[in-house]
Structure 1
Amino acid sequence: MPKYARPADGEGAEAPLAILGNMVKAGIIRQVRKTPNVGRKTIADVLAVAPSTIVPYLGELEAAGLLIANPPKAERKRGEWVVYRVNDEMVTELYLRLGQEIGEI
């Protein structure tokens, strides 16, 4: 497996880039911010991607604390409709961490 080049002092940017470094994930956050309490089919339709494409991303964003699901994963039953909203504090924190790492803040 190839090694990726990493700067010696770049560890702080790794988490924000891993979580936000994908156009679909950024699109999900943008759409859920515009329309809170929205389900995955609506998100997928607006982003013009298959619902199956966004399912793993929704899980990652929820696990990272950037999206709040209702009902939460621990309480979900199979086949239950889930709606999402953005955890603005966590998104802002991640955004600020990335800004600090690239010298913007």
Structure 2
Amino acid sequence: MPRYARPVDGEGAEGPLAVLGNMVKAGIIRQVRRTPNVGRKAIADALEVAPTTIVPYLGELEAAGLLLADPPKAERKRGEWVVYRVNDEAVTELYLRLGQEIGEI
């Protein structure tokens, strides 16, 4: 298996890139920020992708703390309607970490 090249002192960018290193994830955050308290079908429709495409990404973003779900995953029952909103503080923190790593901030 090939090794990934890692620049010296680049480990600080790995977390933000892993969480946001995907256009669908970035699109989900953008769409939920525009229309908070929205369900996955509405998000998928706005992004013009299948709802099944975004389900794993919603889970990853929720686990990373960037999306807040109602009800939260720990309280969710099978088939229950879930709505999402952006955890602005967590997204801003991640954005700032990435900006520091690339020398923007």
Structures share fold, TM-score greater than 0.5: yes
- Mapped partners of 1:21, 1:88: distance in 2: 18
Q: Return the TM-score normalized by structure 1.
A: 0.99
Amino acid at match of 1:23: M
Q: Which residue of 1 is the match for residue 93 of structure 2?
A: 93
Q: Return the TM-score normalized by structure 2.
A: 0.99
- Mapped partners of 1:53, 1:3: distance in 2: 28
Q: CA RMSD in A?
A: 0.4
- Mapped partners of 2:52, 2:94: distance in 1: 26
Percent identity, please: 89
Write out the 4+ residue segments of structure 1 that deviate beyond 6 Å after TM superposition: none
Q: Which residue of 2 is the match for residue 104 of structure 1?
A: 104
Q: Which residue of 2 is the match for residue 36 of structure 1?
A: 36
Q: Which residue of 2 is the match for residue 47 of structure 1?
A: 47
What count of residue pairs does the alignment treat as equivalent?
105
> Structure 2: any 5+ residue segments left out of the alignment?
none
- Mapped partners of 1:9, 1:93: distance in 2: 19
> Structure 1: any 5+ residue segments left out of the alignment?
none
